[in-house]
A and B are shown apart, each in its own frame.
Chain A
Amino acid sequence: ELKVEQNPLFLSMQEGKNYTIYCNYSTTSDRLYWYRQDPGKSLESLFVLLSNGAVKQEGRLMASLDTKARLSTLHITAAVHDLSATYFCAVDVDSWGKLQFGAGTQVVVTP
């Protein structure tokens, strides 16, 4: 069974500093997703990563994928309060959208 592990599970960030969230998975997959979830809200798609070495950036967020190491990272540059949320990585089990999610990383950004 595919396992997806995120760490850390909780991240307290200071505004203006840089941080990284890690997502490890146990078997090969050709698609990895990052989602954001605000409290009481649904999931918002951030990135879809398709191939080894893929890097995508949107604003202060940058995601990368190393399929050989079975590792994806979500890098946050110069954290701001608006980035406070829970971030999930998810691995596509069968290339049809059957996703195995990590437990999520709760991010709190403080001044």
Chain B
Amino acid sequence: DTGVSQDPRHKITKRGQNVTFRCDPISEHNRLYWYRQTLGQGPEFLTYFQNEAQLEKSRLLSDRFSAERPKGSFSTLEIQRTEQGDSAMYLCASSLAGYDSPLHFGNGTRLTVT
């Protein structure tokens, strides 16, 4: 169990640029989640997958955000035409489909939009 891995750890981009983040979940976990956390706040739900199917997207996610999980393994989160308000920590988590299974979070990707 190597944990949830996220890449990159930090990303600085200029407003208007596109960025893509990657998440590799714990290998046997079939559920994958994306959350966003801003300074001093709890994480906010963005979207989640059961295997390769995207089950729900939060209303927080504008059309500039898209997430994929091809083949039910790793996932990518893309933000197009970044805005300064997108600056945050983007957290990926995975879990087993089970009633008492906690979400295991990665170390996150910190995005700064200048």
Interface size for A (C-beta < 8 A) is 24
Chain A positions within 8 Å of B42 at CB level: 4, 88, 90, 101-104
Q: Does B74 contact A (CB under 8 A)?
A: no
Q: Is the CB of B31 within 8 A of A43?
A: no
Contact-residue size bin, chain B (C-beta under 8 Å from the other chain): 20 to 34
- Please tell me if the beta carbons of B102 and A96 are within 8 angstroms of each other in the complex: no
Q: Which chain A residues in 20-76 approach chain B with CB under 8 Å?
A: 31, 33, 35, 41-45, 48, 50
> Which 6 pairs between the two chains have the least Cβ-Cβ distance?
A101-B42, A45-B102, A43-B105, A42-B105, A42-B107, A48-B102
Task: Show the binding face of B for A, using Cβ within 8 Å.
Answer: 31, 33, 35, 40-45, 48, 50, 55-56, 91, 93, 95, 99-108
A-B contact pairs, 12 of them (CB 8 A): A43-B105, A48-B100, A48-B102, A96-B48, A96-B50, A96-B55, A97-B95, A98-B33, A98-B48, A99-B43, A101-B42, A101-B43
